[in-house]
Amino acid sequence: MATGEELADAIASMALFADLSTPELARVAHTFEERYFPDGERILRQGLRGSGFHVILDGEASVVVDGQQRATFARGDFFGEVSILLGEPPVADIVARRPLRCLVLDGPSVEAFLVTHPRVMYRMLQAQARRLRNANRWRS
């Protein structure tokens, strides 16, 4: 993985970016930064401020709360947006399970990005609604 063109191709098939045109995908690929996390590395840290919005390109990550694994994220999943939207530190660690490649947008840029790309915001809202529905199902 490397070039902007390759990144644009890689994200074109993801639900989050499914409504974007080719030029918009190119812009997203140049706006986000690619990062690599080795197996076991922490990506978000419970209780620490200032983390970013991550979209998984390749690999898996675990959601760990107080040392307990709660869920797993894979390609196309995203995380980190809740703490950015609420302005609060993450309530979980996110830990790479096998080498992980992500696209990352820094927290301070997320609001402007979502406002500029309302279709991405809508897709994110859908994903959040699904997570909320599932959480409510577990409770009931």
Binding site for another protein (CB under 8 A): 1-5, 22-24, 26-27, 29-31, 33-36, 38, 41-42, 45-52, 66, 89, 99, 101, 104-109
For residue 92, the SS3 value is coil
- Shortest distance in whole angstroms from residue 62 CB to another protein: 14
CB of residue 73 vs another protein: minimum separation in angstroms?
18
- Tell me the closest approach of the beta carbon of residue 96 to another protein, in angstroms: 10
Rounded Cα distance between 57 and 64, Å, is 20
3-state secondary structure 7-61: HHHHHHCCHHHCCCCHHHHHHHHHHCEEEEECCCCEEECCCCCCCCEEEEEEEEE
Nearer to another protein, 36 or 132 (CB): 36
